[in-house]
C-alpha cells in the first residue's frame, strides 16, 4: 500500500492508473475506520478499481468545536486496517494543502440548497457545505473516478449526487448498503463513545425504522411510530422523517411508493443517525 500526503503526488498517482487503463475508486473517510469503511473498499475492489482511500478529518463539516475535538483519531490502526483490506493507496493530506486559510474561514464554499439545509443540516448549520466542499476538492484532485459512500449517511449521499450532477464532475457516485453490528446498530465511528447502557438505548433507532417499514400505512403513521419508539428508550429525538429519496422533501399521506425513513437522536450526548427504504401506502 502506498502512502501519500502530497496533493500533486496524489493527482499524478490517480492519472498514472488511468493511463494504465485502470479505473480509480475513491473511498473518502475521516478515519476511525470500521467494517462500514471496509465494505466500501470491498465494493471498489469488486468493480476492479484501483482503490484510493483518503483520511482527512474535515473541520469545515463540524459546526460544534467540541464535536470536532471529540472525533476519534486512530491513525496507526487506520493504516494497518487499510493495508489489510486491500487499499492500494492511502492519502492523508495535510490541513495546509486541503484548506490553506485554516483556521480562518475558507473563502470558497460549495453549497447544495434544499438538500443540505434540512434534517441534519437544520440541526447542524454549515455541515453539508463542509461536506460538499471537501468532496468537491477530493473529486477534482483525484480526477475521473468512482466515488464510494455508505447509505448510512443517506443525506450526505443525496447531497453529493446532486452536487456531482449540477457541477458536471467526472465521477460516478456509488452508494453502498448500511453495515450493522450483530445487535442491529448501524456502524459509526461515534459508536465507541457509547457505554453498554447507552448502546442498548441506541438500538431504538434501528427498531424504530423496522417498525415503520412493517407498517401498512401512510407517512404520518410511520413518523409517529418512529418517534414513539425512540422516546420510549429515552432517546432525545432530533427528527423522525419520511422523505422523497431524491429531493429529501417530507411526504404527505397522499404519497405512495418508495420513500426513505430517516431518524436521528442523541444518546448520552452522542448524536446518531440511521435510515431505511420504506414503502408508502395511501392513508384511509
Quick check: is 143 in a domain?
Answer: yes
Quick check: is 243 in a domain?
Answer: yes
> Quick one: average pLDDT of 47-55?
98
Range of the domain at 6: 2-176
How large a percentage of the chain has pLDDT more than 70?
99
Domain count, the chain: 2
Residue with the three cell numbers 449517511:
153
Residues 103 and 162 in one domain: yes
Residues 62 and 148 in one domain: yes
> Quick one: average pLDDT of 255-280?
96
Residues 99 and 157 in one domain: yes
Contact 252, 244 (CB under 8 A): no
Residues 102 and 172 in one domain: yes
Active site residues: 37
Residues 64 and 158 in one domain: yes
Residues 139 and 200 in one domain: no
Give 179-183 contacts, CB < 8 A, sequence gap 24+: 179/35, 179/36, 179/39, 179/150, 179/152, 180/206
Quick check: is 26 in a domain?
Answer: yes
pLDDT digits (tens, 9 = 90+) for 54-84: 999 999 999 889 889 989 899 999 999 999 9
Residue 282: is its pLDDT beyond 80? Answer: no
How large a percentage of the chain has pLDDT more than 90?
94
Residue 284: is its pLDDT beyond 60? Answer: no
pLDDT for residue 272? 97
Quick check: is 211 in a domain?
Answer: yes
> Quick one: average pLDDT of 195-223?
96
Residues 104 and 141 in one domain: yes
pLDDT digits (tens, 9 = 90+) for 110-155: 999 999 999 999 989 999 999 999 999 999 999 999 999 999 999 9
Residue 217: is its pLDDT beyond 80? Answer: yes
CATH number of the domain that 102 lies in?
3.40.50.620
Quick check: is 182 in a domain?
Answer: no
Residues 146 and 168 in one domain: yes
Residues 58 and 93 in one domain: yes
Where among 130, 150, 176 does a domain terminate?
Answer: 176
Quick check: is 283 in a domain?
Answer: no
Where among 176, 204, 235 does a domain terminate?
Answer: 176
CATH number of the domain that 221 lies in?
3.30.1300.10
pTM: 0.95
**Rounded to whole angstroms, how far apart are CA atoms 281 and 284?**
9
Residues 123 and 201 in one domain: no
pLDDT for residue 283? 59
Quick check: is 282 in a domain?
Answer: no
Residues 18 and 120 in one domain: yes
**Rounded to whole angstroms, how far apart are CA atoms 284 and 277?**
22
Which segment of 88-97, 225-234, 275-284 scores lowest on mean pLDDT? 275-284
Where among 176, 210, 228 does a domain terminate?
Answer: 176
> Quick one: average pLDDT of 1-25?
98
**Rounded to whole angstroms, how far apart are CA atoms 26 and 282?**
40
- φ, ψ of residue 47 to 5 degrees: the values are -85, 0
Residues 26 and 127 in one domain: yes
> Quick one: average pLDDT of 86-92?
98
| Dihedral-angle region of residue 83 (phi above 0 means left; psi in -120 to 50 means alpha; beta otherwise) | alpha
pLDDT digits (tens, 9 = 90+) for 165-187: 999 999 999 999 999 999 999 99
Quick check: is 181 in a domain?
Answer: no
Amino acid at each position: 500500500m502506498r502512502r501519500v500526503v502530497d496533493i500533486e503526488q496524489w493527482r499524478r498517482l490517480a492519472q498514472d492508473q488511468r493511463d494504465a487503463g485502470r479505473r480509480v475508486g475513491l473511498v473518502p473517510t475521516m478515519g476511525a475506520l470500521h467494517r462500514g469503511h471496509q465494505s466500501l473498499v470491498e465494493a471498489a475492489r469488486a468493480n476492479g478499481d484501483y482503490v484510493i482511500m483518503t483520511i482527512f478529518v474535515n473541520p469545515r463539516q463540524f459546526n460544534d468545536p467540541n464535536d470536532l475535538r471529540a472525533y476519534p483519531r486512530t491513525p496507526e490502526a487506520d493504516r494497518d486496517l487499510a493495508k489489510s483490506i486491500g487499499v492500494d493507496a492511502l492519502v492523508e493530506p495535510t490541513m495546509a494543502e486541503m484548506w490553506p486559510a485554516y483556521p480562518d474561514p475558507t473563502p470558497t464554499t460549495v453549497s447544495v440548497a434544499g438538500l443540505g439545509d434540512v434534517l441534519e443540516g437544520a440541526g447542524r448549520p454549515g455541515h453539508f457545505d463542509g461536506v460538499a466542499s471537501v468532496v468537491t476538492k477530493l473529486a477534482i484532485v483525484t480526477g475521473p473516478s468512482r466515488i464510494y459512500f455508505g447509505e448510512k449517511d443517506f443525506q450526505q449521499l443525496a447531497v453529493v449526487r446532486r452536487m456531482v450532477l449540477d457541477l458536471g464532475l467526472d465521477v460516478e457516485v456509488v452508494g453502498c448498503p448500511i453495515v450493522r453490528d450483530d445487535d442491529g446498530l448501524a456502524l459509526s465511528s461515534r459508536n465507541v463513545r457509547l457505554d453498554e447502557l447507552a448502546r442498548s438505548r441506541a438500538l431504538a433507532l434501528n427498531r424504530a425504522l423496522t417498525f415503520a417499514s412493517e407498517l401498512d400505512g401512510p407517512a404520518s403513521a410511520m413518523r409517529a411510530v418512529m418517534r414513539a419508539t425512540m422516546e420510549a428508550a429515552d432517546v432525545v429525538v432530533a427528527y423522525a422523517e419520511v422523505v422523497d429519496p431524491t429531493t429529501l422533501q417530507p411526504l404527505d399521506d397522499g404519497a405512495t411508493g418508495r420513500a426513505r425513513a430517516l431518524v436521528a437522536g442523541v444518546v448520552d450526548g452522542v448524536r446518531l443517525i440511521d435510515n431505511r427504504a420504506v414503502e408508502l401506502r395511501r392513508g384511509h
